[in-house]
């Protein structure tokens, strides 16, 4: 007895990255057809949907074949299955293995799906180091944004251990920067524009699109809270500060709590209430950009929020809007408030302690000098809490010690004592690599839960030897050895070299380790 496969129809054609073919197979155990739709939602070109119909119920496993296969199994058993395919190789006739399990048997078939090239402005990706047995599982997700003549077009990317792009989401329909790209608790992908929050699945299907009040503009970070509501970093319309005796329009200095179920704003925090808006010692660009909030972290132990302000440092505020502490060089802190008439901020500044529990000298506390085993985070990004309660943050390092002589970036861990307002540096990585990892803005650092490694992203390394690039490094904190490193080589295709600045260079905002599955 042998199985005879009768191929009824297989047609492949291309239209807006659309591919379709129909296969019909039968034997004594199973009659089925497979209809394939490439890029079913028109924004995820390396995905496909298989519509499988059969004469008896079956369940499916699908595997994209290649050097690094991508496989998913599905428990649903039916005579009509809709099966997602992720991880197709670009510009290739992909071989995709489908296994159908049914009562009394199993059928394995291989179909073909042709894909197109990725956009020409996508980066080249080089793998510099790979020790798979020491790495966190998953592929490599980039929250990446491409120059677009003064704006950005956003297209998050996932690449494999060979540097091959295996998934991306074309968000150009938004006509502006949208992010940060992240997977939330319900399994969806969440990104946000200035006034719009989107939720997609990995196939690019839009599940939720929410507009927020136009008086607020989302920027830099959207944080999912434990109850699945959102905490948003925003600017507020008609918010002003007094700077050097002048009234100035400000931005990037409010947070809001957004209730997802009711789709409304339920709480607001004004960060100017707690900080000295007139302080321009660190990374100052323009008068209204006194804080430049870029990241949020929620501490469920005491319902507080850690805020990263690129131009001021890290601060911690309570859910009921009280200041807990400020982590920043102590130089030139005055009164809080939009008009500088609030309370003194100096009592809230954390004092840095050495390994013996003693304060560093005044020059170190003020940021004029760095100690060999300690420094403040300068122009920081992406603070997050470790399982031990410590804070890890990306210390960008621009204008370190108020000069441009010590250009390095690092991942750094701090232990904070909230009650006595002290902190100490526990661990760091990146300092010894100097300009090789120096990224004056954007960037990210993450704790990887399975291996307990640290993933560091230098998202905009200053052009060096005519190369504009980013780095993604996974490091073991036990010995500070790299177990994975990739270089992202930007192309900057859509830029005006006569108008440098925002939207004229590609950048990598953050990266994550992520499983490629729907």
Q: Are 305 and 353 in contact (CB under 8 A)?
A: no
- Mean of the pLDDT values across residues 256-277? 96
Per residue in 48-77, pLDDT (tens digit) is 999 999 999 999 999 999 999 999 999 999
Residue positions counted in the chain: 518
Mean pLDDT score of the chain, rounded to an integer? Answer: 93
CATH architecture for segment(s) 124-514: 7 Propeller (2.130)
Cα 416 from Cα 277, distance rounded (Å): 24
pTM, rounded to two decimals:
0.93
Cα 384 from Cα 424, distance rounded (Å): 16
DSSP string, 80-138: EEEEEEE-PPTTSEEEEEEEEEETTEEEEEEEEEE-PPPPTTSPEEEEEEE-GGGSPSS
Cα 48 from Cα 41, distance rounded (Å): 9
Q: Are 199 and 190 in contact (CB under 8 A)?
A: yes
Give me 203's structure tokens. 């196939």
Per residue in 100-133, pLDDT (tens digit) is 999 999 999 999 999 999 999 999 999 999 999 9
Classify domain 20-114 at the CATH superfamily level: Arylsulphate sulphotransferase monomer, N-terminal domain (2.60.40.3100)
pLDDT band at 14 (very low <50, low <70, confident <90, very high): very low
The H or E element spanning position 31 is strand 31-38
The dihedral sign for the CA sequence 126, 147, 310, 451: negative
pLDDT greater than 70 at residue 416: yes
| SS percent in the chain: helix, strand, coil, step 5 | 5, 50, 45
- Mean of the pLDDT values across residues 258-274? 96
Decide: helix, strand or coil at residue 17: coil
- Mean of the pLDDT values across residues 375-381? 97
The dihedral sign for the CA sequence 423, 429, 434, 440: negative
State the pLDDT at residue 3.
32
Q: Where in the chain are the domains? A: 20-114, 124-514
DSSP state of 435: G
Residue tagged 């319900």 (tokens): 186
Per residue in 172-218, pLDDT (tens digit) is 999 999 999 999 999 999 999 999 999 999 999 999 999 999 999 99
Q: Which residues pair with 425 in a beta bridge?
A: 414
State the pLDDT at residue 284.
58
Per residue in 320-345, pLDDT (tens digit) is 999 999 999 999 999 999 999 999 99
- Mean of the pLDDT values across residues 510-518? 95
State the pLDDT at residue 472.
98
């Amino acid at each position: 007895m042998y199985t005879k496969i009768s191929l009824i129809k297989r047609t492949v054609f291309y239209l807006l990255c659309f591919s379709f073919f129909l296969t019909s197979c039968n034997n004594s155990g199973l009659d089925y057809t497979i209809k394939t739709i490439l890029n079913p939602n028109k924004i995820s070109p390396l995905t496909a949907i298989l519509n499988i119909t059969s004469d008896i119920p079956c369940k499916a496993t699908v595997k994209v074949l290649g050097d690094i296969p991508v496989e998913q199994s599905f428990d649903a058993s039916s005579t009509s299955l809709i099966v997602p395919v992720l991880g197709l190789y670009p510009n290739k006739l992909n071989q995709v293995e489908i296994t159908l399990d049914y009562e009394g048997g199993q059928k394995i078939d291989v179909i073909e799906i042709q894909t197109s090239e990725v956009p020409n402005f996508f980066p080249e990706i080089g793998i510099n180091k790979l020790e798979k047995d020491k790495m966190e599982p998953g592929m490599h997700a980039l929250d990446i944004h491409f120059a677009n003549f003064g704006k950005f077009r956003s297209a998050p990317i996932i690449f494999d251990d060979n540097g091959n792009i295996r998934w991306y989401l074309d968000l150009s329909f938004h006509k502006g920067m949208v992010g940060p790209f992240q997977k939330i608790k319900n399994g969806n992908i969440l990104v946000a524009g200035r006034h719009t929050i989107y939720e997609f699945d990995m196939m690019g299907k839009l599940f939720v699109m929410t507009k927020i009040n136009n008086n607020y503009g989302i920027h830099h970070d959207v944080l999912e809270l434990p109850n699945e509501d959102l905490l948003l970093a925003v600017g507020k319309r008609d918010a002003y500060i007094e700077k050097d005796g002048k009234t100035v329009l400000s931005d990037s200095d409010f947070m809001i709590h957004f209730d997802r179920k009711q789709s409304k704003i339920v709480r607001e925090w004004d960060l100017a209430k707690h900080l000295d808006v007139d302080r321009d010692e660190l990374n100052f660009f323009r008068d209204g950009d006194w804080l430049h909030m870029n990241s949020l972290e929620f501490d469920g132990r005491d319902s507080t929020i850690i805020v990263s302000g690129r131009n001021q440092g890290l601060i911690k505020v309570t859910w009921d809007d009280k200041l807990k502490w400020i982590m920043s060089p102590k130089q030139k802190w005055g009164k809080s408030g939009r008009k500088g008439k609030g309370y003194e901020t100096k009592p809230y500044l954390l004092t840095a302690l050495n390994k013996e529990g003693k304060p560093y000298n005044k020059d170190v506390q003020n940021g004029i000098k760095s100690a060999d085993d300690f420094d403040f985070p300068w122009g920081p990004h992406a603070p997050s809490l470790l399982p031990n309660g410590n804070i890890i943050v990306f210390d960008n390092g621009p204008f370190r010690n108020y000069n441009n002589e010590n250009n390095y970036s690092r991942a750094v861990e701090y232990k904070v004592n909230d009650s006595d307002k002290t902190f100490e540096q526990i661990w760091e990585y990146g300092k010894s690599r100097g300009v090789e990892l120096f990224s004056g803005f954007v960037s990210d650092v993450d704790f990887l839960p399975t291996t307990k490694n640290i993933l560091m992203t230098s998202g905009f390394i200053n052009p060096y030897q005519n190369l504009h690039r980013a780095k993604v490094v996974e490091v073991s904190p036990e010995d500070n050895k790299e177990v994975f490193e990739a270089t992202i080589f930007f192309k900057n295709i859509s830029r005006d070299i006569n108008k440098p600045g925002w939207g004229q260079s590609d950048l990598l905002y953050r990266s994550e380790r992520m499983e490629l599955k729907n």
